[in-house]
Amino acid sequence: MAPVVIVTGGNRGIGAATVRLAVSAGYAVCLSYRSHAEEANELVADLASQGGRVLAVSADVASEAEVAQLFAQADSLGPLHALVNNAGILETQMQVADMDAARLTRVFAVNVIGSFLCAREAIHRLSTRRGGKGGSIVNVSSAASRLGSPGEYVDYAASKGAIDTFTLGLAKEVAAEGIRVNAVRPGLIETAIHASGGEPGRVSRLKSAVPMQRGGRPEEVAQAILWLLSDAASYCTGSLLDVSGGR
C-alpha cells in the first residue's frame, strides 16, 4: 500500500511542487488548501490522470475543527506516514511600528498554531506509543527566521523563528515514539507569496544578495522536503535544512 502524506497548502507554490514530487515518489497524497479550490482540483485531476492517488481537502489550518476534518478525510487513503506543514502566509510589507493585533493574530494563527494543530493530529496517528508505526513531519520554516525581515515582515520572520523552536522541541519530544521532525528553511523562492506582501517582483529585487545570484524554484525546496520525509534521512531529526542559495 502506498505511504500516505498530508501536505498543507498543497495547491500551489512549494506545496504543489511537493505534492507532485511525492506522487512521483509513490506516495498517496492528501493536500489541503484554504481558498483556491480551482487550483487544487486542477492539480488533483492532472495527477490522477497520471495514475496518482491524490485527494484535495478545503481546510483552514488555523481552525481546530477543520484540521480534524482534514485528517479524518486523509484517513480514507490509508494509514498516515507523514505530514508536511507547508501552509503559511505573510501580509503587506510594513514596519513593526505600524502592525496591529489583528494582523499579528492572523500570521501567528496560520503559521504557528496551524502547524501545531496539524502536528498534533499527525502524532495521534503516527506515535508508536499510540499504536502507530512512526513517521515523519517536515515543517516549512524560512530563512527569514535567521534574517528577521526588517522593514518587510518581522512578524512573519518571528513566526518562522517559532517554527524552528517548535521543530527542535517536538523532535526531542517524539523521537522515542518513532517520529522524526525536521524543517526546511527556504530562502527567496519564486512563488506567489511575494505578491501577498505587495511586491510580486521581490525575488528579482533581492536576488543579487543571494550568493548563488538567483531565486530558488519550488521544486528545489520540494526535493529537500522529500529527502527529509524519506528513509534516506533516517538519522535526521531536529534538523533545520537551509535551502537558500547560500543566503
Per CB under 6 A, residues contacting ligand NAP are 8-9, 11-15, 32-36, 60-62, 86-89, 110, 140, 142, 186, 188-189, 191-193
Task: Tell me how far, at minimum, the Cβ of 45 lies from ligand NAP, in Å.
Answer: 16
d(CA 19, CA 141): 17
Largest CA distance in the chain: 53
String of DSSP letters for 23-52: HHTT-EEEEEESS-HHHHHHHHHHHHHTT-
Pick between residue 136 and residue 149 the one whose CB is nearest to ligand NAP. 149
Instruction: Locate 74 and state its grid cell.
Output: 486523509
> What is the distance between the terminal CA atoms of the chain, rounded to a whole angstrom?
40
Pick between residue 122 and residue 132 the one whose CB is nearest to ligand NAP. 122
Pick between residue 88 and residue 132 the one whose CB is nearest to ligand NAP. 88
Task: Tell me how far, at minimum, the Cβ of 197 lies from ligand NAP, in Å.
Answer: 10
Task: Tell me how far, at minimum, the Cβ of 124 lies from ligand NAP, in Å.
Answer: 19
Q: Cβ neighbours of residue 70 under 8 Å, at least 6 residues apart? A: 6, 8, 30, 32, 57, 59, 61, 118, 121
Residues with active-site annotation: 156
